[in-house]
Structure 1
Amino acid sequence: MKVAFAGTPEFAAIALRALIAAGFDIPLVLTQPDRPSGRGQKLVTSPVKDVALAHGIAVHQPEKLRDPATHAPLIAAAPDVLVVAAYGLILPPAVLDIPRRGCVNIHASLLPRWRGAAPIARAIEAGDLETGITIMQMDAGLDTGPMLLAERLKIGPDETAESLTDKLANLGGRLIVEALTRLDSLKPTPQPEQGATYAAKIDKAEGRIDWTRPAVEIERRLRAFDPFPGSTSQLGETTLKLWHAELAEGAGRPGEIIAVGPSGIVVACGEGALRLTELQKPGGRRLPAADFLRGFPLAAGERFSSPGNS
């Protein structure tokens, strides 16, 4: 079976490695164009491109796929199937129709829950107890196609978007190999409309903490937005990044620091309180609370601002 592949981040690169290891004939890889990154704004290749080049696979990097001329490399590759994983570009119907046996997507949720761009972070943010991988046939809708395979995965109480992405990436790599191996015998199952939710792309502005929200909700968002975009809060003139917290006892005005110690900084929320255990100052590194406080002392009575108490 000739399998073309479309993907960009490490999540997708893990699936590509699994397909290569399984011995599939991969004539072409599509990935997003090289992007400037870091302080020097050097062009950086995607993890998927790195894997493809390391294995001598042809790479195509269109900005968009609306122009029929950008479809030529895929048409020339004549794949039986196009596997898509976190590619980041919308595939128009003309592209979906190119592979002889259609396009198959590795989606990081249990569809129809969390269709869309950010299913992993949204599952953590919502307090879901489980998620998973769904292998689905692609259609013109947004993650609405029939399902071929799915497997569940528990979300741990300390799970971050980063740690959960790693687990789901490995699961996705295993499931896509299984799905393609069994493609002739798998029966496509239409998605139920009941339970469908949309995982909107994360905006950087969402990282600003609103201390008027319940502590349990803020704690989940810290984990959901780790590593991107990170959670921030203003303390005086300084914007701090807050990476990890745990539920704590205490009360006060939302955003008020009510206790400081080696185990963390306790901050009052709209309901309950949080003990901040990992923080980062501008230009600094992520540090445990005790180390952070040595270079950035805080005291009870100081108050983080939020949209509700600027």
Structure 2
Amino acid sequence: MKLIYAGTPEFAVPALAKLIAAGHEVALVLTQPDRPAGRGMKLKASPVKELALQHGIQVFQPETLKPEDVQARISSLNADAMIVAAYGLIIPKTVLDMPKLGCFNIHASLLPRWRGAAPIQRSILANDAETGVTIMRVVPALDAGAMLKKVAVPITENDTAQTLHNTLSEVGGALMVEVLAELDHLEAEEQDESQVTYAAKLLKTEAPINWHQSADELARQVRAFNPFPVAQAVMKDEAWRIWFARVTQGSGLPGEVIAVNDGIVVACGTGALRIEELQKPGGKRMSWKDFIGGAQLKPGDRFET
């Protein structure tokens, strides 16, 4: 098929690669404008743009899709379909109606559960047993289009938002290729509005750990917020970033360090958390063993609660 592909971050890269590999003609890639990044704040191309340029695909980076000249360029391609994956801009209905077969989105949840900006993280926080990918038709309402195909993916106790993101991006790309191959035979299923949940955008204000919560809740918070915004705990007036932790046995005052011989074990409201990977301000992310060598941490020390 002749496709327009709209995507921006790393999540959208595998799908574009798989569509190219499957032999589709990607006539145009829509991606967000280059943004300042890094210490030098130099303009940096999106991951999707970088892949498109490697394959000699035209890249279009408007700030919005509303202007008539922008819409005219998209319309002139007479594309069969538009594929969307974490594009990040609102697509007007005028544009949605341009491709002959429609516009399809790769969404990282089992819709109608977790519509919205942070479905991967919210699924971990909510202790969902599984998540997945849904291919749906794009409509003006947020993630509300009819569904064409789903694939479920289990959430394990080792999964962080990053590992789940990587898995779902690959699964989503493969599923999108399948859907295009089977499009003539697939029947779209409307979403059950009574089952809708919303995955609100992550905020940095959610990062601080409340040690009065259970170890189960805090382990999920740590995993869900890796790599952003990263869970934080304050010790000796420093905000330490907690990158990975597991539930373990132990008791004490909430926030109290009760052992440092098999991870940094901290008492919670219920149970204990074994911190395995963490980072001091201005320091490197490191294992608990390397960390305690320079942190002078001992049982009886206590994180602020």
Provide TM-score, normalisation by structure 1. Answer: 0.95
**What is the CA distance between 1:260 and its match in structure 2?**
2.1
Determine the C-alpha separation between the residues in 1 that align with 2:42 and 2:268.
Answer: 41
Matched to 2:282, the amino acid is G
Residue 250 of structure 1: how far off its partner (Å): 2.1
Cα displacement string for residues 24-82 of structure 1 (whole angstroms, at most 9, x for unaligned residues): 11110001111111111111111100111111111111122233333232112221111
CA distance in 2, matches of 1:108, 1:148: 14
1:81 corresponds in structure 2 to 81
Q: Which amino acid is 1:125 matched to?
A: L
**Deviation digits for residues 135-171 of structure 1, max 9, x if unmatched?**
1011111111101111111111211111111111111
Aligned counterparts of 1:173 and 1:192: Cα–Cα separation in 2 = 25
Residue in 1 aligned with 2:265?
Answer: 266
In the alignment, structure 1 residue 144 sits paired with structure 2 residue 144: yes
Aligned to 2:174: 174
Amino acid at match of 1:130: E
1:268-289 Cα deviation digits (max 9, x unpaired)? 2122211111111122222111
Q: How is 1:97-246 mapped onto 2 (pairs within 5 angstroms)?
A: 97-246=97-246
Task: Tell me the distance in 2 between the aligned counterparts of 1:214 and 1:65.
Answer: 46
Q: Which segment drifts farther, 185-194 or 49-58? A: 185-194
Query: What percentage of aligned pairs have identical amino acids?
Result: 53
Amino acid at match of 2:279: Q
Name the CA distance, whole Å, in 1 between partners of 2:37 and 2:236: 30
Tell whether the 8 Å contact from 1:105 to 1:136 is kept in structure 2 after alignment: yes
1:228-276 deviation per Cα after TM superposition (whole angstroms, max 9, x unaligned): 1111111122111111111122222222222222x21111212221111
Partner-residue secondary structure (3-state), 1:167? helix
What is residue 293 of structure 2 aligned with on the other side? Answer: 294
Contact 1:60 1:73 in 2 (8 A): no
Tell whether 2:42 aligns with 1:29.
no
**Residue aligning to 2:45:** 45
Partner-residue secondary structure (3-state), 1:182? helix
Q: Distance in 2 between matches of 1:134 and 1:31?
A: 21
Residues 71-122 of structure 1, C-alpha deviations (whole Å, 9 max, x = no match): 2321122211110001111212122122122110001111101111111111
For 2:210 and 2:79, how far apart are their aligned partners in 1? 49
Q: What SS is found at the alignment partner of 1:274?
A: strand
Measure, in 2, the Cα distance between the counterparts of 1:13 and 1:221. Answer: 27
Alignment of 1:243-262 (within 5 A): 243-261=243-261
Give the distance between the partners of 1:47 and 1:212, measured in 2 at CA: 40
Q: Which runs of no fewer than 5 residues in structure 2 stay unpaired?
A: none
Question: Which residue does the alignment assign to 1:5?
Answer: 5
Show structure 1 runs of 4+ deviating over 4 A: none
| Preserved contact between residue 213 and residue 270 of structure 1 (Cα < 8 Å) | yes
- Report how far residue 6 of structure 1 moved: 0.3
Counterpart for residue 95 of structure 2: 95
Give the distance between the partners of 2:252 and 2:92, measured in 1 at CA. 53
Amino acid at match of 1:86: A
Q: TM-score, normalised by structure 2?
A: 0.97
Q: Count residues with an aligned counterpart.
A: 305
The amino acid that maps onto 2:74 is L
For residues 199 and 258 of structure 2, what CA distance do their matches in structure 1 show? 35
Q: Deviations over 1:172-204 (max 9, x none)?
A: 111101111111111111111232111111112
Separation in 1 of the partners of 2:206 and 2:65?
30
